[in-house]
Structure 1
Amino acid sequence: MAIYFTPTGDAAEDKRIWRLHASGRVEKLANGIYYQQEGETREAEIRRNWQRLVVKLVPHAVITDRTGMEVKPVRHSDDGPYNVYVVAPRSRWTFELPGLSIHVRKGHGPANGDIPYLGTHLAGQERRLLDNLAFSRARKGEGSRTLGEAAVEAKLDELCRANGAEYLNGIRDRARHLAPLLDRDTEFQRLNGIIGTLLNTHKDKMLTPQGRARAAGTPIDVACVERFQKLITYMAARAPQAILNADTNPDRLMASSFVEAYFSNYIEGTEFAVDQATEIVFEGKIPDDRPEDGHDVLGTYLQLVERVERPPSRTSFEEFKDEIRTRHGRLMESRPGIKPGQFKTQTNRAGDTSFVTPDLLEGTLREGHAMMASIQDPFHRSLFLHYMMAEVHPFNDGNGRISRILMTRELLSANLSRIVVPTVFRDDYVDSLRALSRRDEPSIFVRNLEFCQRVSAACSASTAAAAIDLWAKTYAFCEDSREARLTMPNAALNITNRNGVYAPDDYWQALANKNGLGL
């Protein structure tokens, strides 16, 4: 360890540390605190041991104010020190250490509800909420020591989401008894007002989107809405893509709608040979052994081929909600077990990703719908709509197909080319959604769909057969994405149909070589 504290309780050890200091091998940081360079920088070592330094420098301290809420040092500027805020029954003071300032304000020491923490105390839930509601003026060279009403409001919404309304009532009751001890009666009145408004027993102005949504009876998933904003911010700094719709007559519209319906279902695991899907859509043949799957393909096609009278983004929220429920009911009508047209009542998952919980579903959709309407570029608006629906996942099943149907309708309403995601690009597409959902990285999602739109526009054709041939020349139907990548259509490629899969001959040769079969 590179930081030493004296006295240690061992006289010999104390003398050893003092000798090291006298010889210049350790540095004295403050009375009884010494530092010896071992690996980390002095500033990093001090910051990592901030709790131990508080224990040494400020006996009977309580970690509170913004440090109590965040439980870590905070930096108010890129080149300034990190800051820790505590309260103790002593005079106001600031301990300045290399890279770290420990700010002490005079106040009550540990109280009922405070939590023993690494030799000191961390303010209990009620105390840290009351303290962060206290007014604090930012001083020259440093920021505010408290987080303020908006942060407290957001924290209370988070606690309500996790624990329910009664938990907030418990906080209020305990804070009422604690406030006089801490001289926080004014802050308690504000806390009481915030909790009352969140629980719809009081009317007051809310400062945060989540606070306003909960007060209106439609709480939101804050992390999800923050991802919406990251996507909007990224797209706002990116040049819009304006590839016009090439499906200028009914025949082209039918051909492109068929291809999109085929791939949209294939992505979700509803797999047919292309020729089977052609029979389902254009000849009305329902597969005897898979009637529900057949209806999924046909139902998707029928929604993609219908005329767009009004884009989803140009509706009121209530109209939007009715539209998505109606579309889902039509799409999934052959699967009564998933409750077509009804919002989910249990949280759904995909792998290790959990989507928006049912109690936050409508509020999050409402917030997203309002954000979507503010996006000026129709291409970016369509991408946002697709991601919003995929991320909220409002239904038990069929969310991916509905999200892509809505994206296409938004694009076609602006006379822009549809975006088709083919089989060979499935992993890239799913990974780009995950990058935004799990890592807050929107660029991959946007760039992937930009590329898919360029390919989709180039594959517009006057018949389904011609469209299938063009898409095959992009490697679109190839299932092994390690042996093929999506490209613009290459007219020089020769296409062979094997077991219902149309693909270039070099793809089949690569699979044969991989399996040691040859051709």
Structure 2
Amino acid sequence: MQKKAPTLIFPQDTSDAKRLSREVRSGRLKRIRQGIYTDANWEDIPQLLHNRWYEIVAYLYPTAIASHTTAASLKPENNTVHITAEVGRQNKIAIGEDLIIEVHPGDVNTLTERFCPELNRSSPARFLMENLQRAHQDVQLPKARGQLWVEQELVKYLTRYSEAGLNALRDQAKKYYQRLDMADEFQQLDQLISALLTTHAADVLQSSLAIATAKREPYDQTRLELLTQLKDYLLRCEFPERPYQYNKSSWRHLSFFESYFSNYIEGTEFEINEAEQIVFSKQEIINRSADSHDVLSVFEIVQDYTEMVTVPSSADDLLQRLCHRHRIIMHARPEKRPGELKSEPNKAGDTLFVLPSHVEGTIAQAFTLYQQLPIGMPRAIFMQFLITECHPFDDGNGRLARIMMNAELVAQEQFKLIVPTVHRDSYLNGLRQASRSRRFRTLCKVFADLQAYTSTIPWDDYGSARSALEAHCADKLPDDGVAIFNKQLAVFKIALPPG
């Protein structure tokens, strides 16, 4: 039987209050504060107050609204919520030891919206002005998050609703700021919006995100934070070096399987014999012209040592190299706009990648992080994840990301790596953990293991290389060969820090 969720209980009248008091004396209820009861266990009360704070506010102040920082977060911060109510002076109410309600006097009817059945909140036009409020000594108030936060919110609003939406928000604030007694706050908000829309000097802006947006170089702040965390993790890692000495035969054979597996992971599936026909005999597979060119095009890049030894020297160089390599690998699919950055948002499952308007700015900002990393594997992993998270093109992003990763290794005369079919699930799981949970160890371990594995294959002789890969079930689906393949990886014992 499912356990009943704890609730907050409020008396409806004097008789009901007496009944609840008797329930407390009998031990069936607990009294949190005068007029506020619960059937929760003592240890569950802090979380209950955190989750259901708005019920308490609605009981104590039926016409109040969530305002200031709370209107934005819709949850307690430091066990505190801020509300505006029809009261004569400011007040602070402690609900036990786990919730404080800061009550601010003010208008509860202007620029408000319903956010739950029990309570209204300040609408965006209002809570942006509220969060710009300062004390007379020009000190930021605890109830306000300040200009930096407001700038970031305005950028989000601009991204979501375009310039027309941001102008509409400003019009709302302009219409009602006098009624709310927020002339100074509106003037500041107006300047910030004008700066973002380039109708006012950008020197009023403080955040790097807002400044970049005003310069028409917007970037994905959440992705940049994610990439910063990856950079910090990579700086804690020590990767064994796997030196590679160039040999024409081994390079060609390794490049063949690099292309074969990279395409297979993306759904361009051929038998190895068919791929050999495409690459070595230059013969298309019947009725699969575009797929055949996918395999051959990736091979033509990754077997070109001059191409693969080249890494970007600047953010602009990185963008140009991405477009150049994408144009080559996708040239047989004109509908995918080879070499052109995406113009429409793209996603995989529930993951929405960087918006088209933010791709160039995000890559430019991330390049600074890339430069802070040691050469070799740290930069290789960072580059792969950057391209994967940005997904800058309509298609071909996974193949391109792995090409960019391997180029970082080749440039340092290290073994590039293959991502065989059998290890696809581990590879994708590492990407998911990094992207969704900001846990990077699995992804880094996957790449470190695969580079070590790649370095053990006898690439000089094609037949021996293929036999080794097939013996290790590298070409099998994960369900069919992962146990055997993982035994090959287990011998490397590469230790990486948690994170």
TM (normalized to structure 2)? 0.87
1:5 is matched with 10
Give a deviation string over 1:308-345, Cα, whole Å, max 9, x none: 47866542222221211111111121222222111222
In the alignment, does 2:91 pair up with 1:86? no
Measured in 1, the distance between the counterparts of 2:216 and 2:453 equals 44
1:129 is matched with 128
2:60 is matched with 57
Aligned residue for 1:103, secondary structure, equals strand
Shift of 1:111: 3.2
The 3 A distance-change label for structure 1 pair 362 and 317 is same
Measured in 1, the distance between the counterparts of 2:42 and 2:220 equals 42
2:100 is matched with 101
Measured in 1, the distance between the counterparts of 2:451 and 2:280 equals 25
Using the TM superposition, name which of 108-117 and 407-416 deviates more. 108-117
Kept in 2, the 8 Å contact 1:432–1:448? The answer is yes
Measured in 2, the distance between the counterparts of 1:3 and 1:361 equals 47
1:405 is matched with 403
Structure 1 residues not aligned, in runs of 5+: 76-81, 138-142, 491-519
The letter for the 1-side match of 2:81 is: V
2:492 is matched with none
Using the TM superposition, name which of 120-129 and 163-172 deviates more. 120-129
The 3 A distance-change label for structure 1 pair 209 and 446 is farther
Instruction: State the superposition RMSD in angstroms.
Output: 2.8
The letter for the 1-side match of 2:9 is: Y
The letter for the 2-side match of 1:46 is: L
Alignment of 1:338-417 (within 5 A): 338-417=336-415
Using the TM superposition, name which of 197-206 and 21-30 deviates more. 21-30
1:465 is matched with 463
Shift of 1:119: 4.3
Give a deviation string over 1:220-253, Cα, whole Å, max 9, x none: 23333332223223222222x1322324322221
Alignment of 1:246-325 (within 5 A): 246-308=244-306, 314-325=312-323
Aligned residue for 1:322, secondary structure, equals helix
Give a deviation string over 1:149-189, Cα, whole Å, max 9, x none: 12111111111111111111111122123323333222222
The letter for the 2-side match of 1:42 is: I
In the alignment, does 2:240 pair up with 1:235? no
Give a deviation string over 1:456-501, Cα, whole Å, max 9, x none: 11115213223222322322112353444324669xxxxxxxxxxx
Structure 2 residues not aligned, in runs of 5+: 1-5, 490-499
1:500 is matched with none
Shift of 1:86: 1.7
Kept in 1, the 8 Å contact 2:196–2:202? The answer is no
Shift of 1:68: 1.1
Shift of 1:420: 0.8
The letter for the 1-side match of 2:64 is: A
The 3 A distance-change label for structure 1 pair 248 and 110 is same
Give a deviation string over 1:12-54, Cα, whole Å, max 9, x none: 3233124445667655444433445557633233333311222
Kept in 2, the 8 Å contact 1:458–1:489? The answer is no
Measured in 2, the distance between the counterparts of 1:328 and 1:273 equals 24
Kept in 2, the 8 Å contact 1:475–1:487? The answer is no
The letter for the 2-side match of 1:232 is: K
Kept in 2, the 8 Å contact 1:328–1:341? The answer is yes
Measured in 1, the distance between the counterparts of 2:271 and 2:46 equals 63
Measured in 2, the distance between the counterparts of 1:25 and 1:267 equals 59
Count, aligned residues: 477
Shift of 1:131: 0.8
Give a deviation string over 1:294-318, Cα, whole Å, max 9, x none: 2222221121122347866542222
2:447 is matched with 449
Kept in 1, the 8 Å contact 2:419–2:450? The answer is yes
TM (normalized to structure 1)? 0.84
Picking from 25, 41, 47, the partner of 2:50 is 47
Identical counterparts, % of pairs: 28
2:186 is matched with 188
Kept in 1, the 8 Å contact 2:202–2:211? The answer is no
Picking from 189, 200, 204, the partner of 2:198 is 200
